[in-house]
Structure 1
Amino acid sequence: PDTACRKELSVSFAHFTQETGENSGWGPVPRWKQGLYFTSELGCKDLLAACSYCSPSTEYPCVSGKGYFGRGALQLSWNFNYGPFSEAIYGDKSKLLDDPDSLLTAENGVLAFASAIWFLMTPQMPKPAIHDIIVGKWQPTAADKAGGRYPGFGVTTLIINGGLECYSPTDPRAVNRIDFYKNFSNHFH
């Protein structure tokens, strides 16, 4: 269990750092220690039209004038994530769909971190929970294997950001995540 906990912390904080880190190379603090700096996606508060992140849905309908851009430790985004998280926390899918900003302000900011834990722990078909990958519970199907998806850190990045980072081994975001993971692994071991 102790090894699994260290691995889970390393994976989680690597992703938190990529999603919310200051990522500055100018100061004395190493980049892997700069996580949890920003609470919401940069540039989206003023560019709501570009950052509404609304996918047409009858189950989790978007509210006019609201933006479902990244907020919290893992930058929860899109209405199809805000709705289910709201349902899990409040028993009401509409609460965070109606007021996505409350992810940062409600409960003294606890929801900002709780949303990350929820995302790490919750499978969203066809994607497994990141937690299940880390602890070895997820086993890839034949289709997963054919698509190059095997248990490990890489597939956790695929779950978070899909094809944005995973199809180029030199994508700086993916390279950062791997570097952060290695540093946190060394730190926690």
Structure 2
Amino acid sequence: MKAVELSLVLLCLVYYVHSCAQTYTVNSGDYCWKIANDHGLTLDKFYQINPGLNCNNLQLGVVVCVRDGGQSPPSPPSPPSPPSPGGKISFGQFVNAVTAFGYPSPSQDKYNAFINNYQTKGGITNNRELAMFLAHILHESGGLKFKEETRCKDNKCPNEYRSPGDPGNKFYYGRGYIQLTWSYNYKAASQYLFGDPNRLFNDPDAVSRSEELSWNTAFYFWKVNVHSDPGVQNGQFGSSTKKINGAYDCSPCRGSCNTRFEMYSKILKVFGVQENPNPAGC
């Protein structure tokens, strides 16, 4: 390496070291939001002072920066504030929430089906819970890209999700933004949405054909299985993860647990909720 190039590299290293006033070594059970919160940082600030850090694959022993050179000593994190209805989420906020994770910009139709039904179908009454819901939906659907279980889309998975009495020409693999499966769930969702248990049982493909039904079956699942959980209503995001994918992601937090939470943390901010995201409950 040329002397000039080496000098520039050393200068950059010296600048980085001197620009970080306090470091922290990653321990077992740590993840980015926890480290940031423990040191009085927002997640955005933590990302800013740790450029290039891979929070989805955080390694034990990695040294991270928790206070930059121009930052005053951290203050204790403020406790969560009570949930409030907040203002209606705009199309711009919805787009920002989806694209923050590298997903394509959503259409107006996706926004309309989301914004018009989250209260009536999902029972969601505040922006904190709405951020929880959307974080899971984006993760489950690949950023609203998939409305059908990808491995079953072509062959219909004919020997899976079969219950006694199912018609031989109907298949009840995952459809919609939260992957509704099994005929009894199609019947229950159909009863909830239409007052008729057979509408989706007789036409399960309707869920993936319709933007509104892809959302509404997800809202149905949330309302019946997640919404009333005390932890969810107290702002514990991990409680919602446990309800949706607890067998794979919880006790302890593993799998996609941290990824879901970091998505929620960003969406919460985009949706204008001024509180520290709480990972508890998983």
Which TM-score tier does this pair reach, normalised by the shorter chain?
A: 0.5 to 0.7
**Structure 1 vs Structure 2: percent identity of aligned residues?**
30
* Alignment counterpart, residue 257 of structure 2, candidates 154, 174, 178: 174
Give the C-alpha shift of residue 51 in structure 1: 7.2
1:45 to 129, 153, 166: 153
1:97 aligned partner: 201
Higher mean displacement: 111-120 or 89-98: 89-98
Q: Which segments of structure 1 move beyond 4 Å, counting only runs of 4 or more?
A: none
Corresponding letter in the other structure for 1:154: G
Q: Structure 1: state its 5+ residue gaps.
A: 22-34, 123-128, 137-150
Shift in alpha-carbon separation, 1:117–1:51, aligned structure 2, 3 A? farther
Q: What do the CA deviations read for 1:69-104 (whole angstroms, capped 9, x no partner)?
A: 221122222223211011122322122122210112
**C-alpha deviation, 1:168, in angstroms:** 4.7
Asked which structure has the greater CA Rg, the reply is 2
Query: What amino acid sits opposite 1:53 in the alignment?
Result: Y
Compared CA separation, residues 5 and 51, structure 1 to 2 (3 A): farther
Please report the TM-score for the alignment, with normalisation by the length of structure 1: 0.68
**Matched residue, 2:176:** 72
Separation of aligned partners in 2, 1:17 and 1:116: 11
Q: Structure 2: where are the runs of 5+ without partners?
A: 1-83, 87-124, 273-282
Closer, same or farther: CA 51–177 of 1 in aligned 2, 3 Å:
farther
1:130 aligns with 2:213: no
- Paired residue type of 1:179: E
For 1:51 and 1:154, locate their aligned partners in 2 and report how far apart those are by CA, in whole Å.
33
1:183 is the counterpart of 2:266:
yes
Q: CA deviation at 1:119?
A: 1.2
Q: Give the deviation of 1:154 after TM superposition.
A: 1.8
Query: Are 1:72 and 1:116, in contact at CA under 8 Å, matched by a contact in 2?
Result: yes
SS of the aligned residue for 2:175 comes to coil
Q: TM-score, length-normalised on structure 2?
A: 0.47
Structure with more relative contact order (C-alpha pairs < 8 Å, separation 6 or more): 1
What is the aligned counterpart of 2:185 among 81, 84, 91? 81
Task: Give SS of 2:259's match.
Answer: helix
* Counterpart residue identity of residue 183, structure 2: N
What's 2:144 paired with? 36
Counterparts in 2 of 1:46 and 1:160: CA distance versus 1, 3 Å:
same
Q: Which residue, 102, 112, 115 being the options, matches 2:214?
A: 112
Of Structure 1 and Structure 2, the greater strand share is in 2
Q: Tell whether the 8 Å contact from 2:193 to 2:220 is kept in structure 1 after alignment.
A: no
* Number of residue-to-residue matches in the alignment: 149
Distance (Å, rounded) in 2 between the aligned partners of 1:78 and 1:115: 13
User: 1:166 and 1:53 mapped to 2: Cα distance?
Assistant: 24
Name the structure 2 match of 1:125. Answer: none
Say what the alpha-carbon RMSD is for the aligned residues.
2.4
8 A contact 2:149–2:175 mirrored in 1: yes
Distance 1:19 1:65, change over 3 A: same
Residue type of the alignment partner of 2:154: D
Does the C-alpha gap of structure 1 residues 81 and 170 become closer, same or farther in structure 2, counting only changes over 3 Å? same
